[in-house]
A and B are shown apart, each in its own frame.
Chain A
Amino acid sequence: MSNETHTPSSDFAKEIASIPGGEVINKCIQCGICTASCVVAYVDDQYRPRRLIQKILIGKRDEVLNSDQPWLCMTCRMCEERCQEGVSPAEIFHAVRVLAAKEGHIPKVFQNTIEKVLCDGWMLADAYTDFNEDEREDLGLNPALAWNDTFTKKVKKKYLAGEESA
């Protein structure tokens, strides 16, 4: 619990609901089946999907956007499968991530991976070595992977131009 006293507001929830995927937050009744189903919550007693959603519902915008917690969701969607109200916490947290990223709050590891993917066209260009090529040849597979990076650069320019400096 933070020491500061917060004044609840529905503005943040409305903002999340306006992002595609985030609108399911309107359906949450805080039953807690998400937390009960969550394997991350099972191993990490700080991570509680219901609590994170309630923080959104009461308008703790800064805390939520600056937090690592929305990025801990593995999107395994077990909670979504079990939710009786049709809420997808994974989608809600995606909406939070989109908003956080826009405002520059994005974990370095995500930032770097996205950079890589969009520049190289795929994720593991740096890791692909001669050794891998030989291995593929031995298995009778084509060593030339022929990834396309023109399109991903185009995507980056169109959708994620502002992200670079973040």
Chain B
Amino acid sequence: MKEIMLYRGCTIPVRLPAYEAATIAVLGKLGVKVVEMDDANCCGAQYVESVSRMAFAAMSGRILALAEKESKDILALCGACSGSLKINKHFLDTDEKARKEVNELLSEEGLKYTGKTRVRHLLQVLNEDIGFEAIEKAIKKSYKGLKLAAHYGCHVTRPYEIVQVDDPENPTIIDRLIEIAGAEAVDYLGKTRCCGGPLLAMDESLATHIGQDKIRNAIAAGAQGMVTACVFCDIQLTQVQFGEDTDSSKMIPVIPIVQFLGPALGIKEDVLGIELNKTNPDIILSALQGAK
């Protein structure tokens, strides 16, 4: 069985552990064993990136080196983590001076970055490593009469030259997976726009405005739920639906792609942690029919 090393990042363990559990269960079902990375550090994200290019490179570089030591590719579930790791891999692969400097720091604990490790976002593992055909074969139950909107996450798909996941202006992986599981993928205004998450720290009201706009557009297009591929986006699109000036009758479930695929693959809901979701997933789960 193919193994891949999960870099879980800062947010998942605290805010959305079910995403981690569902990923392990779903990939396992599809023939990919997830092993967890220990002794990791934060990738640096946009915070460290904003103040020091080299500090950012060193932090991501160490994570890459940890996986390299185990001769494994890295699996990232978060757009920020996968983006940071990929951007820094690209930087270190192309800038010899920076690579040397980072390796000096890493050598103190016996680590070395050479660039052998690949960084894989969850969508790449599903699309490229496993493949739509294999997933289709593994589907046990299908969703019927369900319309869902896909949200890809900016850092998952851009910049394309570096992340190489999906078409940055017209991404299709999540949409294909929605359809493979029997539901209908709906297109909506501003599909590739940001969820607003990265702006939360600087201006919460603007961030919320952006996220709510996105949900509104999806509902307007007839979507009954939103499928995500990034922990940050998932949390942001969930929390913008709560709060004073929101209409709870207009709430739609937000669900990570693996929690959506899991039940169709015959994985039990409690393994996927769906009951922990803040938005009510019933409309999705009730659309699941018997054997396809």
Contacts and interface: CB of A to CB of B under 8 A. Distances in A.
Direct contact of A and B (CB under 8 A): yes
Interface of A: 19-21, 39-40, 42-44, 68, 71-72, 74-78, 80-81, 88, 94, 97-98, 101-102, 106-107, 109-110, 113-114, 117-118, 121-124, 127-128, 132, 135-136, 139-142, 145-152, 154-156, 158-160, 163
Contact of B199 (A74, A78, A136, A140): A74
A40 B155 CA distance: 16
Interface stretch (B15-23, B141-149, B180-188, B240-248): B15-23
26 contacts: A39-B193, A43-B209, A74-B154, A74-B194, A74-B199, A76-B193, A76-B198, A77-B154, A78-B154, A78-B158, A88-B159, A94-B50, A106-B50, A110-B201, A117-B45, A124-B13, A136-B13, A136-B17, A139-B20, A145-B13, A146-B40, A151-B58, A154-B105, A156-B55, A158-B105, A160-B52
B122 interface: no
Nearest to A80: B159
Given A72-B202, A146-B39, A148-B41, A98 B52 contact: yes
A71 to B, nearest CB: 6
A140 B201 contact: no
A123 B11 CA distance: 8
A110 B17 contact: no
Given A76-B193, A117-B48, A44 B105 contact: no
Most chain A Cβ neighbours within 10 Å, of B14, B58, B108, B206: B14
A147 B40 contact: yes
A17 to B, nearest CB: 14
Interface SS of chain B: helix
B225 interface: no
Interface of B: 8, 10-11, 13-15, 17-18, 20-21, 24, 36, 38-42, 44-55, 58-59, 62, 105, 108-109, 154-155, 158-160, 168-169, 190, 192-194, 196-199, 201-203, 206, 209-210, 213, 271, 273, 276
B158 A151 contact: no
A110 B105 contact: no
Nearest to B21: A139
Contacts, number: 175
A19 B52 CA distance: 10
What 5 A-B pairs are tightest by C-beta distance, nearest first?
A: A76-B154, A74-B198, A76-B194, A159-B55, A123-B10
A133 to B, nearest CB: 9
A81 B44 contact: no
